[in-house]
Amino acid sequence: MGSIALALSCMIGLTACNDSNDSNDQNVVSPPTDSRDQRFLTAKVNDVIQVNIEDLKPTQGAIGYDQIYYKLGRWQGDVNRPTWQASPENQLVYLNKTIGKKFSDYCEAIGAKSRDDFKTIEALQKANLKQLDSFGCTEQPGTEVADLKTVVVGYDGRLYLTDGHHTMSQLQELPDGGAKLKVWVKVVANESNLKTADEFWAKMQHTGRTWLRNGKNESITYQQLPKNLGLLSTSNPNGMQNNPYRSLVYFTRDIGYEKVANATDFTEFLWEDWFQKQSTQGLVQPLSFYHLDAKAYGAADVLASSAIKSDLTVSGSATGYQAAVANYSILMGSTQPTDLIYKDLTAADLGALRLEKNAAKGSVTANAISNLDELNRDEIKKDKSPRTGGSVWYAVNYNQCGKPQTGTCWGW
């Protein structure tokens, strides 16, 4: 009996030992899984990286749709346009000013300078943004670092775009662009050491690298930012809202203000915020006063001509798009250099031009007046040869008619 008891004791002991080992195995804690996007965690400041547009996350709530429409209207010239079919030379000039401009702008945006004009219509037709070797840039992507759009590596390893929301959205909206189009960007900060979204967005606000406003210039939280670049639509329900004042600022460039070197991020939004405050104070009509939407008013009404006279008053249409640009540009150009526009940033800091009455030919004011005149012009010179149309002309027609095509309301 003693031997049986001893055996049972050993069996129980072994079982106990095995149970103890199993328990220890079960209590081993595996290291937590790093859920951050691993692709960009090691990126350093000033690194140039190749990504897809879909990898870039917005840091602002809205874009100016008319600015997007301008490029979409210009970049998609009509290869079958009948206007210059009898003159292949003029047809090629027209296509280089439109479709060719798309490739040149893309090259510049990815730090590869621009490119030379296409030599033949056939070569232009074969070019595709997704195939870099089908058109070629002057330099390799990422060479011209100063031209690149900028990103911050976030707490989650994702890339947050701090400059270039309009450019990237324009490229995303193109048939040969899209969310998977390759682009090159420059890293200006890596904040992946921050543990939470709250910490990250607090840092982004402190460094001025986010603009937490929606399309109505209302404050939002970072949770309310759009998830994707591009226009808000049924096919892109997480896209960006429209801010009409932001488009207006774009069209006032070189009329009411000029782009300054090393400008602060979101400069145009700072002007947009100032615009809305001036409107609220009754110093200028709100944008709702003007006829800006061709779908509502018709292109002829929206593109009605206005001009800035030598005494800095506006003649012609009082309600067209050109009138809105003129009045807001005069407001910008009437500021003093030390006037505060946003917090401690002055009119001079943000590039305001000094518009003067009865200014001489060749002056800043005379050039501004001339630039306003070009906003509404079409693509045909008096001698019937092609020219670049005005930015507002492209935007208004694209909004009403879509892509330029024969037999549509573009007029050919």
- Is 11 a residue whose pLDDT tops 60? no
Give the pLDDT confidence score for residue 4 in this predicted structure: 47
**CB proximity list for 198: less than 8 A, separation 6 or greater:** none
How far is the CA of 178 from the CAs of 71, 103, 129, 237, in angstroms?
Answer: 15, 14, 10, 15
Lowest average pLDDT, out of 5-19, 145-159, 199-213, 368-382, goes to 5-19
pLDDT digit string, tens, across residues 111-147:
999 999 999 999 999 999 999 999 999 999 999 999 9
pLDDT digit string, tens, across residues 219-260:
999 999 999 999 999 999 999 999 999 999 999 999 999 999
Give CATH for domain 36-242.
Answer: 3.90.1530.10
Domain-wise residue ranges, the chain:
36-242, 243-404
Average pLDDT of the residues in 384-395:
99
- Is 6 a residue whose pLDDT tops 50? no
- Is 18 a residue whose pLDDT tops 90? no
DSSP letter, residue 253: B
Give the pLDDT confidence score for residue 148 in this predicted structure: 98
Cβ contact 258:353 at 8 Å = yes
* Proportion of the chain above pLDDT 90, given as a percent: 91
Cβ contact 104:124 at 8 Å = no
**CB proximity list for 44: less than 8 A, separation 6 or greater:** 187, 190
- Is 7 a residue whose pLDDT tops 60? no
Written as six digits, the tokens of 36 are 């951050």
Average pLDDT of the residues in 392-411:
97
Average pLDDT of the residues in 287-313:
98
Beta-carbon neighbour count of residue 311 at 10 Å? 7
- Is 12 a residue whose pLDDT tops 60? no
Give the pLDDT confidence score for residue 16 in this predicted structure: 46
Strand pairing report for 159-163 and 56-57: parallel
| Rounded Cα gap, residues 334 and 352, in angstroms | 9
**DSSP characters for 163-178?**
E-HHHHHHHHHSTT--
| Rounded Cα gap, residues 348 and 257, in angstroms | 9
What mean pLDDT, rounded, does the chain reach? 94
Beta-carbon neighbour count of residue 26 at 10 Å? 7
Give the pLDDT confidence score for residue 14 in this predicted structure: 44
Cβ contact 294:395 at 8 Å = no
Give pTM, 2 decimals.
Answer: 0.91
Buried b (16+ CB within 10 A) or exposed e, 358-370: ebeeeeebeebbe
Nearest alpha carbon to residue 379 among 389, 393, 391: 389
pLDDT category at 77 given cuts 50, 70, 90 is very high
pLDDT category at 193 given cuts 50, 70, 90 is very high
pLDDT category at 25 given cuts 50, 70, 90 is low
- Is 22 a residue whose pLDDT tops 80? no
Written as six digits, the tokens of 26 are 């079960």
Distance from the first to the final alpha carbon of the chain:
111
Give the pLDDT confidence score for residue 52 in this predicted structure: 99
pLDDT category at 24 given cuts 50, 70, 90 is low
* Proportion of the chain above pLDDT 70, given as a percent: 93
